[in-house]
Amino acid sequence: MSRRRERAVLALLLAPVTLYLGVFFLVPLATIVVFSFLTPGLYGGVEWSFYHWNYGRIFGWADGITEVFEPVYLRILGRSLGFAALTVAICLVLCYPVAFWVSRLPERWRALFLFLVTLPFFSSLIVRLYAWLLILRPSGLLGEGLMALGLRSTPLELLYTPVAVVLGMVYVMIPFMFLPLFAAIDTLDRAQVEAALDLGATRTQAFLKVVLPQTLPGIAGGAVIVFIPSVGNFIVPDILGGARGLMVGNLVEQQFLAARNWPFGSALSVIIMTVVLTVLLVFVARLRARGA
Amino acid sequence: MRNPAGWLLLTALSLLFFAFIYAPLLVIVGYSFNANPVNMMVWDGFTLDWYRGLFGLRDRTGDALSRAAYVESTDQLLAALRNSLIVAACTTAISTVIGTATAIALARHRFRLRRLYEGLMLMPMMMPDIVLGIGLLIFFVSLGMQLSLLTIIIGHCTFLTSYVFIVVQARIAGIDPALEEAAADLGASEWVTLRKVLLPQLAPGILGGALLAFVISMDDLVITYFIAGTGSTTLPVFIFGMIRRGVKPEINAIATLIILASVLIAALGLWLRSRRIDR
């Protein structure tokens, strides 16, 4: 096939995606960045003039006249990062031993349990969160159950707390942590573990020096895949969170649909985007460094 | 495993883990058959009333739709379901074509910007939903586009193309290019090689990608929430609205039906994959 002909075919194959993602992905992202530097209009619109106070309100260089610095935004940002990190940690602790267990099962059972882990991914997010609403609300299954067993005398107050938010996020993120972990654990060189044990290493040593380093890529991959959707999450805190579980995603939603301050909402989104891109870049750089 | 007691403990822990995943879903299914209209917690006998209510049927007392009055009307629910199906069908078609074309381009051609495209394809999957949702909202509103099913379809394709791409790319990596080279050497045109050699081998991957796109599109809440107009509510957005207004037995019935549908779809996916391995 001629060189020119091949070029033409390649152009034909790549044209749709280039156009599509260019127009409907890159342009919208750029629009957010532009909007975050615009002046909020009086009645919900925007004025096309440069305005840096959207960020000043959040990070503290507001002058107190045009815009007021409100530390609550930094607190909510910090909370979002904290919740996401906690979600990653809990998912990891829950999934690691189970992934290990599944990888050691006979073939038939392995397939079954792997299927059982992925199944919730196919079932509706909103339905899975609704289930926890039923369980956690004061007159819900957990509260009534504990009272019936005489373990509590007052209704349970778990719903609309940070605990409920992290629990909900862990629940919906489990498949994303499990699969990369499983892939890493399943390809683990078991002979090396045996050798370490034969040579007198304790179980803890064998785990720390042999198993952990080999499964590190899976851990890192799972952590990134769980962290990113958690940090900008707004559905979980919306349904289970209440005021004390408010995350930056809720702030963005409020700015766009209730307060109608689009530039400020855009500034918050740019911060989420920056966090996500930073995490991704660090991850990719590390991956390259390992590969090299 | 050298330590039987340890293995037993691990097994117990793992079974608990699976109970943790599935118990909440079973709670919904159980509640959906509970006749007690006041307190869902107290079992008051088996009923199908909540399901009857969904389909606009009368309950046992002949009190038409009284209990189900919460589902403002069955029409709204069915309209939301119809919207979801339309969006998912269109999205699946578009994203499957674009995603497959891209996967073929990146796997079978060497060019300078390949790395860049690989990164670009991962970005929409990695961008948090809320960022993509408001980006599209600002974009559509700035262009003066009315929010509708069309805007939802456009929005879904931006990230589902990437999902199809990933699935098809994984499949294409396992296909030996020698067969295509042979076809080309024997005088088949690029188009014939693609249609008669590559695509048939790729079909299970394309089908898998399409199925994944369909399921994710049906379930997408966050992005749709921002770019759905008043008349273009999809099923997840509709249910989200109901839940925000309070817990009601009808939601249990809807949720149970959705769980049932997703189990069937997942089983279908599994069946497709096992067929793929058999070949």
* CA separation for the pair A9, B189 (Å, rounded): 11
Give the residue with greater pLDDT, B246 vs B255: B255
- Given a cut of 50, whether residue A292 has pLDDT beyond it is yes
CB-based contacts of A196, cutoff 8 Å, min separation 6: A205, A206, A209, A210
Residues in chain A with CB shorter than 8 Å from the CB of B95 are none
Per-residue confidence band for B179, with pLDDT thresholds at 50, 70 and 90: confident
Q: Contact, B127 vs A280, CB < 8 A? A: no
Would you state the pLDDT for residue A34? 95
Which residue on chain A is closest to B222 by alpha carbon? A235
- Given a cut of 50, whether residue B94 has pLDDT beyond it is yes
CB-based contacts of A13, cutoff 8 Å, min separation 6: B101, B102, B104, B105, B109
- B138–chain A Cβ distance below 8 A for any pair: yes
- Residue A38 DSSP class: E
3-state SS class at B44: coil
Residue with tokens 């929010």: B147
Would you state the pLDDT for residue B112? 87
**Cβ A31–B215 below 8 Å, yes or no?**
no
- Given a cut of 90, whether residue A101 has pLDDT beyond it is yes
Lowest mean pLDDT of A197-206, A224-233, B83-92, B121-130, name the range.
Answer: A197-206
Residues in chain B with CB shorter than 8 Å from the CB of A235 are 221-222, 240
- Residue A255 DSSP class: I
* CA separation for the pair B101, B94 (Å, rounded): 11
Would you state the pLDDT for residue A290? 78
Alpha-helix residue ranges (DSSP H) falling in chain A:
3-21, 27-35, 53-59, 71-103, 107-122, 125-136, 141-148, 162-186, 190-198, 203-206, 212-231, 235-236, 248-253, 262-291
Q: Contact, A131 vs B28, CB < 8 A? A: yes
**Cβ A269–B269 below 8 Å, yes or no?**
no
Min Cα distance B38 → chain A (Å) is 11
Residues in chain A with CB shorter than 8 Å from the CB of B101 are 13-14, 16-17
Give the residue with greater pLDDT, B119 vs A4: B119
The β-bridge partners of B34 are B46
- The whole-chain average pLDDT of chain A stands at 89
Per-residue confidence band for A60, with pLDDT thresholds at 50, 70 and 90: confident
Would you state the pLDDT for residue A120? 84
Quote the ipTM score: 0.90
pLDDT > 70 fraction of chain A, expressed in percent and rounded: 98
Would you state the pLDDT for residue A1? 52
* CA separation for the pair A38, B85 (Å, rounded): 38
Residues in chain B with CB shorter than 8 Å from the CB of A14 are 101-102, 105, 117
Would you state the pLDDT for residue B180? 87
Would you state the pLDDT for residue B65? 46
Per-residue confidence band for B54, with pLDDT thresholds at 50, 70 and 90: confident
Would you state the pLDDT for residue B181? 87
Question: Where exactly are the structural domains of chain A?
Answer: 71-291
Question: Where exactly are the structural domains of chain B?
Answer: 80-246
CATH of domain A71-291: 1.10.3720.10
CA atoms within 13 A on the CB side of B184: 12
**Cβ A20–B161 below 8 Å, yes or no?**
yes
CATH of domain B80-246: 1.10.3720.10
* CA separation for the pair A31, A38 (Å, rounded): 11
* Residue range B101-121: mean pLDDT, rounded: 91
- Residue B32 DSSP class: T
pLDDT tens string B220-246: 999 999 999 888 999 999 999 988 888
